[in-house]
Amino acid sequence: MKLAGKVALVTGSGGGIGKASAIALAQEGADVILNDIRFPEGGSDTLGHILALGRRAVEIVCDVSDQAAVESMFTEAQGQMGLVNLFVNSAIYSDREYFYKADMKGFHKTIDVSMWGAFYCLRAFSNRLLAVGQPGSAVLISSPHAHVATPSCMAYNMAKAALDQMGRTAAMELIGHGIRVNMVYPGWTDTPGERKFFTDEVLDKAGRALPMGRLMQPEELARGVVFLCDPASDSITGSTLSIDGGTQLPWWSKRGTGAF
């Protein structure tokens, strides 16, 4: 129960890495505010899972690309659960098209949710801690897309590159206040969002071609989130933790050589 007494807010917690992170934080004793653009009527299974652990939890519907809505969400969260001292940014949106023929509505939405949404939340989170002089920890779910020029993903690549600089700069500006900011790089992870682009058959085949022979699971990323939120990790800030199954190693150049 290394996070007992902490209050966490996790964006994008309706599924995937956000959902797994919210549950993992609760398992370590944190109370959790769940955020997503929508939740099913009557509450999500994430909410039920956390309540069954004996933790407090609430769901707040909020479009993180709306700054006013984000400020209201943090105000509501603090009113219901107390000061939020752990923040995990997992909300994203992504379309896939070559930039020169992209639907600009989707292009802008990708930037608005994946970059501006993270900024609005990190700003609201930090200001509330600064106002009362309390420490805290933020974890931004980034991506190797921040430095890999993946075609048909320009808006997402741009957003994640900005997210990395956002996190490092915030870590510099907040280090004297006891507020830590770190990033996590997932590998190709088996999440509901991948079904927007790929079938289960394609994902299974692609996973078998990866260095470890499988896709990452959201729970593996969640363990890294807990590690970074742990007060015992208080010397870690402005860092990036890769939990990617070795996909950023130069393994592509070795394929077919018998080295693997």
Specify the DSSP class assigned to residue 177. Answer: G
Q: Identify the active-site residue in 98, 100, 120, 156.
A: 156
Question: What number of other Cβ atoms are within 10 A of residue 165's Cβ?
Answer: 10
In angstroms, the CA 218 to CA 76 distance is: 28
Dihedral, 147, 153, 159, 162 alpha carbons, nearest 10: 20
In angstroms, the CA 229 to CA 223 distance is: 10
Tokens of 256: 């077919």
Using N-to-C axis directions, what is the helix angle for 218-229 and 16-27, rounded to 10°? 50
The yes-or-no answer on residue 120 being catalytic is no
In angstroms, the CA 173 to CA 175 distance is: 6
5-27 burial, b if ≥16 CB within 10 A, otherwise e?
ebbbbbbbbbbbbbbbbbbbbbb
Q: Supply the residues annotated as catalytic.
A: 156
